[in-house]
Amino acid sequence: MDFAERIAAGDTRAGARLMRWLDDGDPRGFPVFESLYPGTGKARLIGVTGSPGAGKSTLIAAWIRSLRDRGHRVGVVAVDPSSPFTGGALLGDRVRMTHHALDPDVFIRSVATRGALGGLSSSAVMIAYVLDAMGFDRILLETVGVGQDEIDIMRHADATAVVLAPGHGDEVQAHKAGLLEIADVLVVNKSDLPDAEQAALQFEAAASMARPGTRIPVVVRTSARENRGVTELCDVVEHLLARQAARPDGTDPARVRLEDLVTDLVSKRARERIRSAIADDPDAMALMERVARREIDPFSAADILMERHLG
Ligand SMILES: Nc1nc2c(ncn2[C@@H]2O[C@H](COP(=O)(O)OP(=O)(O)OP(=O)(O)O)[C@@H](O)[C@H]2O)c(=O)[nH]1
Ligand SMILES: [Mg+2]
């Protein structure tokens, strides 16, 4: 068996090595990825984002159990796994505390790189594809809902759960960050806390006032800590996924996301390429100097550099 075949057969060590190569931009990774790609497209990606410390990782640990009970094989990609704000535990640690640690049908991977593949979201999505090729059919993607990159990743998910919790000032923050707009499901976690119900009602009201044309998310109350509401959450999301699969209007959201991914890769790579070309080009520095002296305008200077380095 060659390396790609081993991964497709579910060899987790081989899979982990490929992920590392892809993360590092190691050229050995690309041919393997290339031969695995035709075997992907079977997994469904579930985005899990929300405010720092809302309980995303704890919730995912419980969610894994619901998905395993239904016979799914579960991959998890945790981006920036623990935010500095909250002292939230690493997802891997949370899961190690549960019985999933030794389960071969659960695979957890953290990503922190922003470089090699053209940004955080491309790295996370590539890793999700490797998990898909390894036969994991549900992939949970955790990101903190702070920062455009982290929120952008959710565009690649088949369904997105936004996790909020009472007492975080979340109602306003979530609005600001545009989190409510991307939610298919709004999870109000920590419903064991005293102010939880009031917060849930506020979130519900805020969500129902979403901008016209955007969907109104389903609100689900959970306590990840006490493992309440997680089965319901799992049901709601599975229902959404099943409905998407049977989409009657013929549009294929997965196809749109792939186009997005390719466009993303092109623009990020072009940006990298031109940035380093300019850094190595003494004429470019002279040109910048002329822009600063008002001898040439920025648009014309940009045209000159585009022509020279991307043409
Ligand atoms: N009371 C209560 N606490 C919870 C619940 N879920 C999580 N927590 C606690 O909230 C804190 C943060 O939990 P995490 O699961 O690490 O939260 P997170 O959203 O993944 O955090 P970051 O990844 O750092 O943004 C921990 O102390 C958890 O024990 C819950 O349902 N109820
Ligand atoms: Mg976390």
45: left (phi over 0), alpha (psi -120 to 50) or beta: beta
Rounded distance from Cα 56 to ligand 2 centre (Å): 5
Distance from C-alpha of 298 to C-alpha of 287, rounded to nearest angstrom: 10
Q: Can you give the pLDDT at residue 161?
A: 95
Residue 297: what pLDDT?
A: 97
Ligand 1 center to 224 CA (angstroms): 8
Ligand nearest the Cα of residue 224 is: 1
The CA-atom distances, in angstroms, between 254 and each of 25, 88, 145 are 25, 32, 22
d(CA 68, CA 72): 5
What's the burial of 71, exposed, middle or buried (CB within 10 Å: 0-12/13-18/19+)? exposed
| Ordered alpha helix ranges (H), the chain | 3-8, 12-24, 29-36, 56-69, 91-96, 120-133, 148-152, 170-176, 179-182, 196-208, 230-245, 253-279, 282-292, 298-309
Residue 244's pLDDT is 79
R_g of the chain, CA atoms, integer Å: 22
- CB burial readout 222-245, b (16+ within 10 A) else e: bbbeeeebbbebbebbbebbeeee
Which one of 58, 90, 140, 225 would you pick to mutate in the ligand 1 pocket, going by the greatest count of ligand atoms within 8 A of its CB?
Answer: 58
pLDDT tens digits along 245-267? 666 666 777 788 888 888 888 88
Residue 189 Cβ < 6 Å to ligand 1: yes
Alpha carbon dihedral 202, 60, 131, 264, in 10-degree steps, equals: 30
- pLDDT tens-digit profile, the chain (311 residues): 899 999 999 898 999 999 988 878 788 999 999 999 999 999 999 999 988 888 998 999 999 999 999 999 999 998 865 554 454 556 556 565 566 667 889 998 887 655 555 566 777 888 999 999 999 999 999 988 777 777 778 888 999 999 998 876 656 666 666 788 888 999 999 999 988 888 888 888 887 776 666 678 899 999 999 999 999 999 999 999 998 766 666 677 778 888 888 888 888 788 888 888 888 989 999 999 999 999 999 999 999 998 988 77
Q: Tell me which H or E stretch contains 77.
A: strand 74-79
